[in-house]
Structure 1
Amino acid sequence: MIHNNSVTDFILFGLTQDPEKQKAVFGVFLILYLMTLMGNFLIVVTIKISQTLGSPMYFFLFYLSFADACFSTTTAPRLIVDSLSKKKTITYNECMTQVFAAHFFGCMEIFVLILMAFDRYVAICKPLRYTTIMSQRICGVLVILAWVGSCIHSSAQLFLALRLPFCGPNVIDHYFCDLQPLLKLACMDTYVINLLVVSNSGAICMVSFILLLISYIIILYSLRNHSAEGRRKALSTCTSHFIVVVIFFGPCIFIYTRPPTTFPVDKMVAVFYTIGTPLLNPLIYTLRNVEVKNAMKKLWCYKV
């Protein structure tokens, strides 16, 4: 509804307007979302209860799975519900809340991935000092810093979104509220705000990705001095981490580090990092990690 030259709610265009395709969207994304929740819930509960998964790597994996479940929940439920709704409206306040939540949990995932890479770096390159550097207290402080950093980032994004005046139209060509589609609807010159978005979200994505690449290059270089068995185990763990980094950062960099232009593929790219990545993470970490698989078998077989 548009009232007094200001927009009080928005209409989400969604992935498609075709009624038959919308039914398919409902079925497919409902299954994907439930699988995401189940997979991440299994990892969270297994790490919390299991006595064998007490190392810093699993401490950080716990928070990655938690962030994944929350990140997916910020976008997937509305996409699922809207696919069967005739009126896909979202109020202004709900839209701003979604902007904050999506960036908060997305940024949290980035910071946790950096912490996991740092943990692998210390474990492989500084093995004798590992228990001192990655003590329980330090790991707790690092996670708190990740929460604070995520809050600062998402608050900055929310501040930019709240600065945008909307006079109509109010149709967001997306399936959730984000700054890029909102900038298209603002009745003002958005060049400066877009620069701020790129320098905030874009810089976090690019700098974090480069840091992670450098850390993995250093880790791979240092493995030359390890035994064959040590190299195999370290490569297995680091490969899982690197796969997650690529599938998450690739779409994010594509979306947040470019001028204010939109492409038809934008929504599908967003689906990949908001819904696809949270689903793939638990699969990657469980299928490629013997310790997690064994802990799950022992825990859940015992419970059953």
Structure 2
Amino acid sequence: MEEENETLTTDFILSGLFPDMKYVSILIYIIILIYFAAVIGNFILLFLIWMDLSLHTPMYFLLSQLSLIDVALISSTVPKMMVNFFSRRRDITRVACGTQIFFFFTLGGAECILLTLMAYDRYVAVCNPLRYAVIINHVVCLQMVIVSWTGGILASTAHTFYTMNLPICGSREIHHFFCEMPAIMKISCKDTSTYEMVVFVMGIAFIIIPFGFIMASYTFIFLTVLHMKSPQGRNKALATCFSHLTVVSFYLGPCVYMYMTPGSFHTPDQEQAVSVFCTVLTPMLNPLIYNLRNKDVVGAFQKVLRKHLISKWNI
């Protein structure tokens, strides 16, 4: 009878963001503001990179891809949460649920790979500056982006296929504000311990190994920076590296907690808090980190602003 109900009822129920929280509506409105700030901030960064010829470099091309991923990542979860909150409905179709999982893992996997390749770009720029234009050219940049998206799609396809084929014999309520794999695994009537090991192994491939490559790249970078005689060159290299390392720690740190530890160690509220940080706060913080600490981006913004004001004044 339970199996028959499972085949007839295919929709899921989302419990929403911190359902037991007393003033959750305030948090929802804050997240909405963060969402618009993230979208606007990333699109401003994309616009500046597109408009200013001085930013048409491999580093900023990769940074533009990071902004695209951030916009897509936050847009894959927040709009649905907003619709459910204001409509007072909590249901989500099986297709929509699978779509959220697919895009979440595609974008997350692509970002992990891209952050690793951005660290390699900085390594070449600082440690082999004379060969930088040869090693990191436009073709290589395009290949980096293709590898990032392809890796994310392949991992996401496997996760989505497994998760959406899990049997749900009891309650179909997902204790989360969007469809996420660990939350669905918890309501499945199938033993998922074996797949948790698969998730752990994939976490090593997409989190631990990239983090190791990033740390190795920055170890060589810092050793090179220490031997630089020019204070300006040293400060510029450190500023760029600090921005990237901050983004890496914000993104990979919570991922280690979520996907490299057993699901039984997490409470629903802890999982939601980590998800809010990864999928909502980080996409908003990334453009701020790169804009505020990057003189090239700030200079490009000032040039575009002056050009707009001068043309408006002449009219």
Q: What CA deviation, in whole Å up to 9, does each residue of 1:28-86 have, x standing for no partner?
A: 11100000000000011111121110111101001000100001111111222223332
5 Å matches for 1:159-178?
159-178=161-180
Output the TM-score relative to the length of structure 2: 0.92
Output the TM-score relative to the length of structure 1: 0.95
In the TM superposition, residue 21 of structure 1 has moved relative to its aligned partner by 2.1
Q: Establish whether residue 235 from structure 1 lines up as the match of residue 235 from structure 2.
A: no
Q: Establish whether residue 266 from structure 1 lines up as the match of residue 271 from structure 2.
A: yes
Q: What CA deviation, in whole Å up to 9, does each residue of 1:119-139 have, x standing for no partner?
A: 100011111111100111111
Q: What CA deviation, in whole Å up to 9, does each residue of 1:158-203 have, x standing for no partner?
A: 1221331112211111111111001011111111121112211354
In the TM superposition, residue 213 of structure 1 has moved relative to its aligned partner by 1.4
Amino acid in the other structure paired with 1:284 = I
| Aligned partner of 1:35 among 34, 37, 48 | 37
Amino acid in the other structure paired with 2:225 = L
| Aligned partner of 1:222 among 214, 224, 243 | 224
- Counterpart for residue 285 of structure 1: 290
Please, which moves more after superposition, 35-44 or 106-115?
106-115
Amino acid in the other structure paired with 1:181 = A
- State the identity %: 36
Counting matched residue pairs gives: 303
Q: What CA deviation, in whole Å up to 9, does each residue of 1:7-32 have, x standing for no partner?
A: 41111112233586232133111100
8 Å CA contact 1:22–1:84 kept in 2: the answer is no
| Aligned partner of 2:251 among 234, 241, 248 | 248
Tell me the secondary structure at the aligned position of residue 92 of structure 2: strand
CA distance, structure 2, for counterparts of residue 16 and residue 253 of structure 1: 22
Please, which moves more after superposition, 125-134 or 291-300?
291-300
Amino acid in the other structure paired with 1:245 = V
Please, which moves more after superposition, 75-84 or 291-300?
75-84
| Aligned partner of 1:108 among 103, 110, 120 | 110
In the TM superposition, residue 245 of structure 1 has moved relative to its aligned partner by 0.5
| Aligned partner of 1:294 among 276, 288, 299 | 299
CA distance, structure 2, for counterparts of residue 91 and residue 301 of structure 1: 49
| Aligned partner of 2:69 among 63, 67, 85 | 67
In the TM superposition, residue 146 of structure 1 has moved relative to its aligned partner by 1.3
Amino acid in the other structure paired with 1:224 = L
Please, which moves more after superposition, 85-94 or 54-63?
85-94
- Counterpart for residue 5 of structure 1: 5
Amino acid in the other structure paired with 1:285 = Y
5 Å matches for 1:3-152?
4-6=4-6, 7-17=9-19, 21-152=23-154
- Counterpart for residue 190 of structure 1: 192
CA distance, structure 2, for counterparts of residue 126 and residue 17 of structure 1: 53
8 Å CA contact 1:118–1:215 kept in 2: the answer is yes
8 Å CA contact 1:117–1:216 kept in 2: the answer is yes
Amino acid in the other structure paired with 1:51 = L
CA distance, structure 2, for counterparts of residue 300 and residue 96 of structure 1: 43
8 Å CA contact 1:26–1:84 kept in 2: the answer is no
In the TM superposition, residue 3 of structure 1 has moved relative to its aligned partner by 8.9
CA distance, structure 2, for counterparts of residue 44 and residue 161 of structure 1: 34
Tell me the secondary structure at the aligned position of residue 258 of structure 1: coil
CA distance, structure 2, for counterparts of residue 234 and residue 73 of structure 1: 32
